[in-house]
Structure 1
Amino acid sequence: MAIARQVLCLSAFLALPLARAEPIRYSVAEEAESGSLVGKLAEDAGLTPPQLSARRARLLSEDGRQHLRLDRGSGRLLVAGRLDREELCAHSATCMLPFELLLSDPLQFFRVEVVIEDINDHSPVFPKEGITLKILETSEPGSRFPLEVAQDRDIGSNTVQAYSISPDNEYFSVSYGTRIAGKKYLELVLEKPLDREEQAEMSFSVIAEDGGSPPRSGTTEIKIVILDVNDNAPVFTKEVYIAQVLENMPEGSVILTVLATDQDAGVNGDISYQLSQTVEQSDSAFVIDPRTGEIKITKPLDFEEAETHELSVRATDGGGLSAICKVVVEVVDVNDNAPELAVSSFSSPLPENTVPGTVVALFTVRDRDSGANGKISCALDDQLFFSLRPAYKNYYELVTVSALDRERTARYVLGVTAADAGSPPLTSTHTFTVDISDVNDNAPVFNQTSYTMYVRENNAPTVFVGAVSAADADVGLNAKVTYSLAPVPAAERPSCSCISVNSENGHVFVLRPLDYERLRQSEVTVSASDAGSPPLRANVTVRLVVLDENDNAPLVLYPAQDGSAASSELVPVSAEPGYLVTKVVAVDADSGQNSWLSYHLLRATEPGLFSVAVQSGEVRLKRPVTERDSAKHKLLVLVRDNGKPPLSATAALSALLLKSTPPPP
C-alpha cells in the first residue's frame, strides 16, 4: 500500500506561535485495544489537562482519519480504533502515524509521531494451495526445483524464517535464502536419484514458519510427478524484470514481455507462462499471454493506492519443468488528484469595528499526488479588505487588511483557489462567506408619528386594542426592539393607569373594564428601546378612545316608579280626543343612538281610549269618553332605547274619568 503524500494548510483567529522544534514520539503495538494508553501527551508537551480543555486541544492527522484520540480530562493519548500496521504501511520497515496537537488561545502546535509496532498477526500464505511438479527421473541428486515463496504481511522476525517438509521425505529437502540481488528463493533439493518405475508419484507438504512468538505457519501441498527424458528446464533472460507504468495507462495496454528459453526440442521445449501476484495484491490488475509472455493491465492503476506491484511469473515447458522470475511494476504518478482544502477554524460574522490584521479563518490543503503534482499554491480572489498569508508548514491564514463598514457591505464572498504544479495544473476552490456584524448606531423609529386606538366600554380585562411598531436599522441585538410605557412625572399623571404594552411585540392592552360615562379618552407615552449597549430609544404618543356601549336602561323620572301608590291622572268626561292626560318622562345615561328613547303603550284597561306619542311620551285621549267607559283606567307604558340590542323600562300610571266637574279645592 502506498502512503499518500499530503499537504496541509492551516488558519486561526490569532497569529501562530512557533511549534515545538522536535516532535513528541511514542510507539504502540498494532491491534491494541481501543482506549489503550499511547503516552502522557499533556505532560510530555509541558501542559496540564485543564489547559487542554481551556485551549480546546484537538488532534489533526495528515490523512484526515482519527486513529488516536486525546482524553482532555487526563491529558493522555489513547488508541481510538483498530490499528492495522499492514493496512496502514504495507511492508514498510517503519510504520509511523504523524499528526499535530493543535491548541487555541493562543494557537500552538506540537508535532507528534507514533510508531506502530508489528505483532505476529498474519500467517505465511503460499500463492497456491497445491503445486504439481513434473521431474525427470534422470535428475541428478542436488538438482534444485524453484517454488514460489510464502508471503507474510508481517515484517522483521514476524515474517517467514524457515521452511520444512512434512512428513519427512528421503528424496527431497528444502533450501531457502536470499540471493545477492536481494531476491528470496525457495527450492526443493533432490537428495537421492529417482526411479519412475519404482515410484511414479509422491506427495508431501512444504511448511513455512515465521519467527513470531508463538510462531505461525502456512502450508502448500506438493505433488511430484516423475517423468522420463526431459532434462532441461526453462531459463528466463532475467531474474527480475522492471516495468514503469503511468497510472493513467489505458486498460489492455502491454507493459512488459518476459522471455524464457528451453534447450530441449519438441514438446519439452514448448514454454507456457503463468502469472501470480503477492498475497496482499490478490485482486490482480494484470494478465499474461501464456504463449507470448506479454503482460497487460486489466484495470487502471492508482499510484496513490500502490506505488509498486510485485508479480511472479512461472515458465513451464511441455515436459513439466519450470522456472520462476520476478516482475516489479513501478507505477508512475500523474496529476490526477486536485488539491483538497480543509477548514480548521472560521469566524463569521465579524464586527464592523474589527481591527485590520485580525485572523478570520484557518485552513489547510493537501494533494495526494507526489512531486510537482503535489506541490500546492493558494491564492485569494482580488479583495481590498482581506488577504492570505502563510502560517505553519502548509497552513494559511485569512486575515483582514483594512477597516470594515457593515452599512456599505454586509457580506463578503471570498474565493480561495488552491492549484498544484502539475501539467496541466489541477485546482479546487473554497468559498468563505464572511458576514459583517453591526454596532449600535441607530435608534428605533416608529412607523407612525402617533397612534389612536379604540376600545368599547365594559371591555373584557386585558383586551387587545392595537399595536405600536418600531424598526431599527441595525442588526442582531442592536436591532432587537422592546416596548414599555414611558414614566410620567407625578405632576402629569394620566387620567387612566389601565393601559399596558407587550414588551416583545408592542401589542397594547386595556387591563380592566372601562366606563364611557366616566372616561372618554386617555393618552400614554410608549418607549421603544433596542438591546444595544448602551441602548437607544424613541417615544410615541398613544391615544385611547373609549366607545359607548348600550349598558344603561332608560330611567323613568315621571311618574315615579318607587313602589308607592301612584296618583291618578284626572280626565274630564268632556275632554276631546287629543286631550293631554300626562307625559312619561325618562332619561338614558348612554350617548348617541343608545340614548334615543321611544315610548309605546304596552297595556291598558281600555286599549282604544288612550295613545302614547312615540317620541315625546305624551299620553293623550284617542277618542271621546262615553258612558260605557269605566271610571278608572290603568296603563303600562314601555320606554325603549335605540341600542343593539335595545334596553327598556316600564312606567305604570292611572287615569280617573270625572263624570262631573269636581268642586274647587
Structure 2
Amino acid sequence: MGVSLESLPEAGRVQYSIVSGDPEGFFAVEEEQVGGISVLHIRTKTGLRDVLNRERQSSYTITTTAEIRSSTNVVYSATTTIHVEVEDTNDNIPLFFPDSYTVDAPEDLLLNTRLVQVKAHDADSGRNGEVYYYLSDAMTNLFAVHPITGVVSLTRSLQGHITKEFHIKVLARDRGSDVEFLRESAIGQADVTVSVVAMNNSPPKIAVRHLPSVVEHAHAHIYGIITVTDPDDGPSGEIELVEIVDGDHDRVFSIGRGEKPNEYNLMVLRLLDRELAPAGFNLTIRATDRGRPRASADKSVSVVIADVNDHAPVFIPKEYDVSISEEAPPNTPVVRLFAIDSDLGKNGEVTFEIVSGNPDRKFEINSATGVISTADWLDAESKSYFSLTVAAMDSASPAVRRQSTTGVIIRVLDSNDNAPTFLNIDDVVEVNENEPAGSFVIRVAASDSDSSENGFLSYSLVNGNQVPFTIDPFDGIIRTAKVLDFETGKKSYTLRVKVSDWGQPYKHETQTIIQVTVKDINDNRPQFLTSDCSGWISVNTHKDRPIVTLKAVDLDADTRVRYQLIGNTNRDCWFIDPDLGTITANCNLRAAVLLRARTKTVMLNVTASDGRYMSDPVMVTLNVYDPQYNDPENMYYARDVTCRPNEIAREYIDVELSAHVTEMSGNEEYQAIQPYVSENFHAPIISSKTPISVEVPENALVGSEVLVIAATDKDRSFDGRLVYAIASGNIDSVFEINMITGVVRLSAALDREKRALYVLNITVYDSGQPRLSSSINVTVQIMDINDNAPQFLRFSYHLHLPENMKIGTSVAQLQAVDADEGNNALVTYKLISNTRQFRLNSNSGILELVAPLDREKIDQYELKVRAWDGGEDERRYSDVVVHITVLDINDCAPDFGAAKFISISVPEDYPVGAVVAIMQATDLDVGQSAVVSYSFVEDDNANFRIDKETGVVRITSPLDFEKTRLHNLTIKASDKGFPPLHSFAQLIIHVEDVEETIVTHEFKQRIARGWIRENEPPGTLATTLAVSGERHPRLQFAITDGDGHGYFAVNSRGKA
C-alpha cells in the first residue's frame, strides 16, 4: 500500500500517521519509496509491556493519513483504512464448560445411541482451535466419544452389569502442532457420570396354583395362590398392585398378601351359587410393577364352581290335570311330565316315579321321559278320577338326593262301554178292550252306567209288524195307539221294546219282550151259527141220544154260553144241554108224542145266554114219526136234522178266524226276528298291507305321520269297535298312536345319533267282552339327516418343523369324525389357507410339505383346514387351525449387508480410542445361531482393535501417515451355531496426512522488483521471489492482489 508520487509536483517525502484504530498503540507506520511510489509499512512496536492477543482482539481497523508538503508549503493529504488481522499462535488449551456431565442411561439403551454431548472450547483459531475428544480409558468397550462432535455414545449393552454408575473421563486436545500431545497442561478434561436406569423391560409374570374347583355354598376359603415375579431391577422389579380387573362384577373374590413376599392369596369372599353362575368365573388378574412407566401383565384364571345338589327338580307346570278315554288300551300315553333341575351332571339328571294314587297300578311312568301311560284297562264307571302323586328325583347319591312332587289329576272319560239295562218290569200286562187310544199300558225303565250322552236313553218299539201301541222315547211309557177289540183283534201282543243310549259313533242297545194281553169285556150277545133247524126223528129215539146240537158263539173271551128251551114246549120230554147245546129226547116219544097219530111236528125254541146277553131264539122243528109205518130200517135212529147257516154268525166266525190268524202271524214274527245278542267271536285282523318296516327321517317334525295301522273285525257293533296301542318298543316315548284311527305319529324329536332303530309292538283290541286283540311288530328305521358337522379330534394342532425338513414329508394327519352315517359321514378335507409350502390330502387328511421351508422368511404358519361332510342338499363343515412353528437351523451366515466393503479416511492425528467404524452383521437365524462375534482375520494389527461383541473398530495406537497410509482390515463375523457359519467384510482405512509442523516463511524483500519488456511472450520471467529459511518441499506461492487482468503467474519455485 502506498501513495503514487508521479502526480504530485515537487513531491517530497510522505508522512504517514495512525489517526485512529490503535488505542493501545500496538502499531507503528514507516515509509519507503520505490520508484514513484511511497510505500506504507505498518509494523508492531517493540518494547511494549503488552502484546497482541488474538484471543482478546483478533483484528484492528486502522485509519492512516498520508501527508506531503510541497515546496510552496502546500500540504497534500489522503486518508485510508487498513484492516489488520492478528494471526493465531497455539497458546490456549481446550476448556470444557461445563466440565462435568450427568446423564441417565436406560439399561435397555440401544447400542451406538447418544448419551451426552460434551463441549470443549479452544480460544485459538484454525487447527489450534480445533478440538479432538477422547476417553482417558482408551481400552474401554462400553463407551465411545466422537473425536470431533464430543458425542458420548454407548457401544456395549448396559444390561447385566453389576455396576449401575459409570464415571467417564473425556479428554480434549487441540490439533495445533506446537503442543506436545501428552502434556497434561495442554489437555482439557470433563467428567461424565452415566447412571444406569433400570428400565421396565419386563412386565410381571403371574403364576397361579389353584384348586380344581370351588364347592358352591362352601365357606369362604383360599381358592388359589398367585405368585408374581418381575425380572427387572429396582422399582421396575417391585410389584405395586395385584388386583382383579375383570370377571368379578359382584365382587365375590379378593386378593390379599400371602405368606411370602411375592405371593398373594385369591380368596372367596362369600358363598357361591353355581346356578347363578353356571359357567363359573373367568377372572382377569392384573399385576402392576412400580416402574416408570408402569408395566402390567394380565392372567386369566378360570374358577369352576363344583355343583352341590342344592336344588330339587321343579315341575313345569306345577300341577297337571288331564283326561283319558276309558277305552284307551294299555300303554296309551296319558301325559308327558316336564321337570328341570338347575344342578349339574348327575345332580341335574331327573327321573320320575309314581309314589301314590296308583294302588291298582292302572298307570305307569317312563322314568326317563316322564310319560305317564295306562298300564291296564280303565273303567270310568268303577273309577273315573285318579289323583297321582309323581316324584321327580335327581340322580345324585342317595345320601344327598333331592326330589319334588306334583299332583297329576287323571279324569277317565266315559266311552259308552256299557249297554242299557232294563229295570225290573212285568213281562206280561193286560189291557182292557174298548179303552180309548192313548190309554196307559205300562212304563218300561232302563239304566246305563255310562255318563253324559253315553248314559242318555231312548226307547222304541221294534216289532216287525205294526202294532197298535206307541212308546214315549224318553220316559218309556207304552200307550195304546187305537181302541182295541178283543173280539175282532188280537187277544195278545208281543211287544219288542228297545232301549238305546246316545253314544257316538256306536250306540249300545238292549231289547226286552213285553206280552200285552187284551182283556175281554163282555160286550157281545151270543150268536147261533145256524138257524131254522128241521129234521125227522124216530119215536124210537133213545133217551139222551143227541138229536141236534146248536152252536152259539160269543166273541167275548172266556164267555160261557148256556143254552135253554123257551116257550110252551113240553120241557119234560125235551132237554137241551145248557153247556153243549145238544137237544135230546127226555121221554118216550111214542107215548108222549104219537099217542094219537103216526107223525107229529114238534117246534122247539132255543136260546143262548152269556149270562148277560141273550141270543136271538132259534126254531128247531122236529118231525117225530113212527118208523113202523114210515121207515122200518131206521126206526131206532133220527134222521139228520139240518139247519140253515146263520150269516151273522158266519161273520163272527170270520172275525174270530181273522183274529186267530193275526195272532198266529204275530207269534211267527216274534219267533223269526229275535233281538241281537252280543257275543265276541272274532279277533281283530290287521291288514296285510300294513308295513312291518318304515323309514322316518330324523328331522321329521313332531306330529308327523309315521304309518297307519289298518285293522278290521268281523264282529258287529261294539264287538267290532277297535282301539290301538303301542304295547312296547317306544323306548324314548317319541311315538304316539291315535287309539281310534291307528295313525302313528311323532310325539317328540328324533335323533338318529342317539337311537337309530325302534321296534314297535302295536296291538289292536276290540271292544267286546272278553276283549280280543292282535299285534304286529313294526320296525322304524330312523333315516340319517345331515344334521352334524364333522368334528376334529383336536381343537387345534401345533406342529414344530425344522426348516430343513425334506419335501414330501408328511407332517401331520388331521382327523375329523361325523356322527351322521353314509355319505353324510364321509369326511373330506380342504386347505383353506393360501400356502405354497403345504398340501393336504382331501381324503386322508395328511398334511404334506411340498416346498422348502425358510424360517428366516416365514417362521409361523397358521393354516385353516376345513372338514366337509358328504351331504347332498346341504354340506356341513367345521374348521381347525394348524399352528406350524418353523424351527431354526443354522443355515444363515452373518451378513454385513452394505458394510461388506467399507472405505473410510481417518486423519493421522485421530486420538487413540476413537471409533473409526462399526462393523455390524446380522444373522437371520435365532438363538445361538444368531449370536455374532467379530474378529480380525489377521490379528497382528497394532493400530486397531475390534470389539468381538459389537464390531466396533477403535484406534489402539497413533496413526502415522508417513509410515502407513492405508490399512486393509479383513473382519470375520462368526455365529455360534453348530457348526458355526462365517462371513467376511473388508475395511479400508485411508490415513489422511496432517501437517504436524507449521513452517512460516517470510519474503526476504518487502518489495520485489522486476522488469519485463512489452510484447514478451507468456512465460517470460519477470522476477524471482526469495524467502528466508529452508524452503519447505511443499511451499506454494500465490498472487493475492494487483493482477486484475491475469497477466502474471507465480510457480512453486517463486518465479513470477
- Scaled by the length of structure 2, the TM-score of the pair is 0.27
- Scaled by the length of structure 1, the TM-score of the pair is 0.38
Higher relative contact order (CA 8 A, sep 6+): 1
